Amino acid sequence: MTAPSKPVLLTGASGNLGRHLAKTLAEKGWTLRLTDIAPFPDPLPAGATFVKADINDGVALLRQAEGCAAILHFGGVSTDQPFETVIGPNLRGLYHVYEAARREGARVVFASSNHSIGFHERPKGNEAKLDYDCAFRPDSYYGLSKAYGELMGRMYWDKHGVENVNLRIGSCFPKPIDRRMLSTWLSYADLTRLVERCVVAIHAGHAVIWACSNNPASYWGKDHRDRIDWTPLDSAEPWRSEVEAITADPVSERYQGGGYTTSEYSRKTPSPRDAFDLEG
């Protein structure tokens, strides 16, 4: 597959997923501009440059985005954290990303998360899986920031024509490590192929992709993967015998967001499946 003719900016380059993408995309001949608030911990890949910067600094981000074909936005807070920790990088920082994309005519690939919909219950039996247009039901301030990010992408598409692909990442690790990941796991190789297709696809518009591998137990259904011609090749099933154990927490087991739903959880009974109903 031909590498993009223009540079691609990768935020969050020093994180686990950023480091993987920096390595694998550089190996494909991409010209990368890497940035993170933390130093880049690995040898710099061929064809890549790194600038240490805070995405709260809009001017710095604008400079890095000059002449770029796309912005892979993997920066910001990436775990369940208090609101004051999340608000700066995940809300203000995202605004700076979209302003840079608007100015440069660049496509945004946004590392969203399954935690934007984490309080949907896990499907049972033949119950329908969630489609891309399901209601947001964030399970944490982190998940709330990802819902905000997807909505910002929709606004910038409607108002400015900025193309964006929102990757609702499940659980991206070298292998599944618990029972929930039989449904949510995304292999590193499938992540690279997905990001590659997001950038090189001719048209993206405003798209939502359930970013998980080809897992038969997946919670998720329809999305826009056909638009970018992506099919996951890996599966969590080979690890089923290793991770079949169920956790002892009924809240974690009930909802798609798993452990994130239990943080500061104070309800006495579960919320209804329809968020606007009084009774479940």
Q: Report d(CA 169, CA 214) in Å as an integer.
A: 13
DSSP assigned state of 255: B
What amino acid occupies position 279?
E
| Catalytic residue flag (residue 156) | no
Q: Report d(CA 55, CA 49) in Å as an integer.
A: 17
- Listed in sequence order, the residues at least 6 apart from 254 whose beta carbon sits closer than 8 Å to its beta carbon are 121, 122, 261, 270
Virtual torsion, Cα 198, 109, 140, 148, nearest 10 deg: -120
Q: Report d(CA 154, CA 190) in Å as an integer.
A: 25
Q: Report d(CA 113, CA 142) in Å as an integer.
A: 9
Contact 9, 200 (CB under 8 A): no
Catalytic residue among 98, 142, 156, 219: 142
Q: DSSP letter string over 65-122?
A: HTT-SEEEE--S--S---HHHHHIIIIIHHHHHHHHHHHHT-EEEEEEEGGGGTTSBP
Catalogue the active-site residues: 142
